[in-house]
A and B are shown apart, each in its own frame.
Chain A
Amino acid sequence: MSTRMFGAPVQRSEDARLVAGRGAFLDDLGAGACAAAFVRSPHARARIRDIDATDAVDVAGIIAVFTYEDLSGAMAEPLPLLIPHPCIVDGRTPYALAREHVHYVGEPVAMVVAADRYAAEDAAARIRVDYEVGEAVVGVDAAVSAERTVHAGMADNVAAHLVQEVGDARAAVAAAPNSLELELDIERSAATPLEGRGVYARWEPATSATGTDDGRLRVYSSTQTATGVRAAVAAKLELALGQVDVVVPDVGGGFGVKIVHPWPEEVMVPWAARRLGREVKWVEDRREHFVAAAHERAQRQRVRVGFDDSGRILGLDVDILHDNGAYLPYGVIVPIVTSTQLLGPYKPGAYRVEFRSLYTTTAVVTPYRGAGRPQGVFAMERTMDAVADHLGLDRLQVRAANVIRPEEMPYDQGLMFQDGRPLIYDSGDYPRMLEMIAELVDWPGFAEYRERARREGRRVGIGVACYVEGTGPGPYEGGHVQVETSGKVRVATGLTSQGQGHGTVLAQIVADELDVPIADVEVTTGDTRRMAYSVGTFASRGAVTSGSAVALAARRLKEKALRIAAEALEADAGDLEFADGRIQVKGSPAHGIELGTVAVLSNPLRYAFDAASAAATQFSGAADHESPPVAEGEAPGLEGTDYHSPLRCTFANGAHAAVVETDPDTAEIRILRYCVVHDCGNLINPRIVEGQVHGGVAQGVAGALYERMAYDSDGQLLNASLMDFLMPYASEVPTVEIAHMQTPSPLNPLGVKGAGEAGVIPGSAVLAAAVEDAEGFRVDRMPISPSELFELRNRHAAGEVASVPPRPSPATASDTSVPSAREPR
């Protein structure tokens, strides 16, 4: 047997190409294509009176200008609402190009196609649009007040309204011996991958191979779903699905924003390519990404909690106001996730959650890594700290009093989750998670460290925050595994890759299943020509769904290979084993056959094309003339296809702890330590999982301390550049200390859970807790900048911000084991 690959920190197979500069990202393709540029609304809300392209026509290289008036049929209808939900009161989606009204700055109004991007932008700048400017609706307050509505025909700005309740939470809060109320606020941030969106399309003329006299469309898109784009583009262009291929090249980061489809640009580019009969490419620039892609996170929350004297939560009643931006293309997944995943590892006696999802005249809000969970965790973990402070208990102790015990698994929270299936946790050991984070950060030793720092005139604080993340939702993913006559193994899955290392991880799984060297396994993702059935990459689902699917597909291939090998070796299939790229008789390794040879035999040939294939031709040896060359019920080729369709999500979990120092004079916030306990079930590749955690933590820190979308009251995004939007550099991101737990999931053949989003989820919660602990007053609004902390200090001094009482020494309050005290870095 070869060394087992599953669980090993295998170096990525993707990297040799990427470090050599041989990556092929969207803008690296289509060197001869025409370039598109979009004229975008400079106003948050306006009526378009007229579009005049007269001056644009003079620009050398201009090919075409399109507006809404050029669209017809399905293209003239609004873009789809991707995930309908009964709670959506009025679901508005945009047109591919604005039809009379615009509802946010950046909304596409006209499309220019020209010889290159310079010419396209020159022409776009010369198109005069006459707007009747309306009033903007910016922020949750303006949306709720409904003094102005975003969309005509609506009485208010409520896009969706949902209540979920388990037990009678309001009665439980009222009856509880202790109760508190919290007002919480989180601002907008965004995924902001370093590569923005991009689409490149070409229309190929009809041939006998296209199966129609209408030609065929090839679309390349920097997307998180190849099959989604294919279906959406086919519907919009009124093409048969079989006429459209979507290929996803290397993608320079996604983090959720690229799951939205079809973007206006994503239908306009293929439409223009077909209409013009030319290759057309659009590559988003940085400003476009800021104003015209998608944002997330902004919510206001009111929490009412009732609890007993041990800190056990008896009733939890949460109201959420969610800013969904100008349209609702992705439905209400984000607030649904917030309202369900808010519960984390805990089991309140009764729970009620109500959200209103609100239109504002700003960029749309769709999932960004974490997808509503950071806000939910912020609500729950701020509540846990408030409960502990109210009772004078240690913060970890209160959490320990509320977590679900391992023996209670599977645990039904009684709610419906974002995949339309019950919120039932499959496995996890949350008490052990709390013990491990206490050990890793040395929670008990912190009181002494704090005292020492105080004597040095330094102000330090510690915080902790826990999460549970539903990962790997269905409906399904597929895998196709094929052994070629060379013995090389080709694997395909439909979902796409944006840097997660699927090519390596899926190869590890297949290499183990077939016992072949990992170097012989090649993986294709995101190409509808190779795997037409797929959903996409989101919700930490790649390893769970595609990982399981390729394992199952490899097992199907093995069954077939054993049948062929048994016949060739004149042995019983039960006596055979896979070993080092061969199938051999157990205990008699010399008696065996190469997998490549099995592949040759699996495909009876008339024509030989090399020495190996000659063995499968019709005169090559003894044949059974009583049965056909391909036996009944068999198909030629050594391949297997299968799908994994999970019953429901599998739930990963973890706890983060942070130690921060706040400067008494400047109010600067410095992270001294950042610790992560993380359980994503069985680890396929710990190196890749740790990389996912590192990157997630960086985005968590970013959202907590640096990044926000600064809209003014007119709906102008004031910081729409990387100069003003403070994406952290290496100087801002702490070193992450990680401890793994591995509680297998019973819901998939690999026992894995998703790992992609976990790192980001508790970021705002844990850093708010740590800053609060350092400062001695409540922090209920994130992100927090030094100037905001300075302002909070002033307001606290004026009695406007509540103090937190001195925290009890955790060494006496926590029952966790106490390692030797450790100095934060």
Chain B
Amino acid sequence: MTEDVHDIRLRVNGIQHTARVPARRLLSDCLRHDLGLTGTHVGCEHGVCGACTVLVDGRPVRSCLMLAVSAAQHADITTVEGLAAADGTPHPVQQAFAECHALQCGFCTPGFLTLVAAYLRDNPDPGEDDAREAVTGNLCRCTGYQNIVAAVLRAAEITRGQDGVPRARPPAEEGRVPEAGGGRP
């Protein structure tokens, strides 16, 4: 009893990867086990917790709900490992989560980071209610979300460069996101 496999090409964090996978291979498993990118975590495998969120062509996607062979048809995938700048400077969202104590065990964190990075790209100036609404699709069992909401606001502040911190690169600039558009400052 053997299974058909497919050779796929995935562009992840700007790097071209190849993998040989069965059609049923989840994108989350492919990223973690075939490509060794274990920063993306799996919390439920039924699309509820959001820990496995990655950006596919700039949009947040639950990688446990997408097959690797489907992902291969998209241009570009960004995981938590790809949020920081090329020189290692943390993305504003990463910096803000650390500053605001927005993580405890850190297991759900990669999903929040990718989600919020995309959210702030499209909504650079959220209010507190907006920030809370933005993260209501992801589960965190440790923090009670209060500091996560604070971190969304702080990340927006850092991105706007309001406190002398050099303006960091939003996650999806330089043409990585074909339709990032609206609302960017």
Number of interface residues of A (CB under 8 A): 58
Structural contact, A194 and B51, CB atoms closer than 8 A: yes
Fill in one digit per residue for A244-257: 1 if any B CB lies within 8 Å of its CB, else 0. 00000011110100
Interface positions of A from 18 to 45, Cβ below 8 Å from B: 18-25, 27-28, 31
Structural contact, B24 and A252, CB atoms closer than 8 A: no
**Which chain B residues border A690 with CB–CB below 8 Å?**
101
Interface positions of A from 194 to 216, Cβ below 8 Å from B: 194-195
Structural contact, A20 and B141, CB atoms closer than 8 A: no
Structural contact, A23 and B39, CB atoms closer than 8 A: yes
Knowing A286-B43, A721-B44, A729-B136, the reply to whether A500 touches B104 (Cβ < 8 A) is yes
**Which chain A residues border B139 with CB–CB below 8 Å?**
194, 722, 727, 729
A697 at the interface (CB under 8 A from B): yes
Knowing A27-B42, A691-B143, the reply to whether A195 touches B79 (Cβ < 8 A) is no
Shortest A295–chain B CB gap in Å is 15
Structural contact, A250 and B105, CB atoms closer than 8 A: yes
Structural contact, B39 and A20, CB atoms closer than 8 A: yes
Interface of B, helix, strand, loop or mixed by DSSP: loop
Mark the stretch among B146-154, B157-165, B175-183 that contacts chain A. Answer: B146-154
B156 at the interface (CB under 8 A from A): no
Shortest A441–chain B CB gap in Å is 17
Knowing A58-B1, A255-B141, A695-B141, the reply to whether A731 touches B132 (Cβ < 8 A) is yes
Name A194's contact: one of B94, B97, B141 (CB within 8 Å).
Answer: B141
Structural contact, A60 and B41, CB atoms closer than 8 A: no
A-B pair count, CB < 8 Å, reads 173
**Which chain A residues border B98 with CB–CB below 8 Å?**
11-12, 15-16, 19
**Which chain B residues border A697 with CB–CB below 8 Å?**
144
A500 to B101, CA, bound (A): 11
Nearest B-chain residue to A196, judged by Cβ: B43
Name A252's contact: one of B81, B106, B143 (CB within 8 Å).
Answer: B106
Structural contact, B144 and A195, CB atoms closer than 8 A: no
Knowing A21-B110, A25-B41, A60-B1, the reply to whether A195 touches B80 (Cβ < 8 A) is no
A18 to B149, CA, bound (A): 18
A349 at the interface (CB under 8 A from B): no
Nearest A-chain residue to B2, judged by Cβ: A60
B184 at the interface (CB under 8 A from A): no
Fill in one digit per residue for B87-113: 1 if any A CB lies within 8 Å of its CB, else 0. 000100010011101011111111001
Specify which of B43, B143, B144 lies most central, judged by the most chain A CB atoms within 10 Å of its CB. Answer: B144
Name A698's contact: one of B49, B105, B135, B145 (CB within 8 Å).
Answer: B145
Interface positions of A from 731 to 763, Cβ below 8 Å from B: 731, 733, 735-736, 759
Structural contact, B105 and A251, CB atoms closer than 8 A: yes
A439 to B86, CA, bound (A): 51
Nearest B-chain residue to A698, judged by Cβ: B144
A193 to B2, CA, bound (A): 35
B36 at the interface (CB under 8 A from A): yes
Structural contact, B32 and A27, CB atoms closer than 8 A: yes
A59 at the interface (CB under 8 A from B): yes
Shortest A433–chain B CB gap in Å is 21
B14 at the interface (CB under 8 A from A): no
Structural contact, A194 and B90, CB atoms closer than 8 A: no
Knowing A194-B51, A286-B44, A286-B45, the reply to whether A730 touches B135 (Cβ < 8 A) is yes
Structural contact, B106 and A20, CB atoms closer than 8 A: no
Structural contact, A20 and B1, CB atoms closer than 8 A: no
Knowing A21-B110, A194-B105, A691-B101, the reply to whether A730 touches B80 (Cβ < 8 A) is no
Fill in one digit per residue for B105-149: 1 if any A CB lies within 8 Å of its CB, else 0. 111111001000000000000000000110111111111111111
A548 at the interface (CB under 8 A from B): no
Fill in one digit per residue for A173-202: 1 if any B CB lies within 8 Å of its CB, else 0. 000000000000000000011110000000
A23 to B81, CA, bound (A): 11
A116 to B43, CA, bound (A): 18
Structural contact, A695 and B109, CB atoms closer than 8 A: no
**Which chain A residues border B83 with CB–CB below 8 Å?**
21
Nearest A-chain residue to B140, judged by Cβ: A194
Shortest B39–chain A CB gap in Å is 2
B40 at the interface (CB under 8 A from A): yes
Knowing A11-B99, A286-B44, the reply to whether A499 touches B104 (Cβ < 8 A) is yes
Structural contact, A194 and B108, CB atoms closer than 8 A: yes
Q: What are 7 of the A-B contact pairs (CB < 8 Å)? A: A22-B81, A31-B33, A194-B51, A285-B45, A722-B43, A722-B49, A727-B139
When A and B form their complex, which 9 residue pairs have the shortest distance between CB atoms, in order from nearest?
A: A21-B39, A252-B107, A499-B105, A18-B106, A499-B104, A694-B144, A21-B80, A698-B144, A28-B38
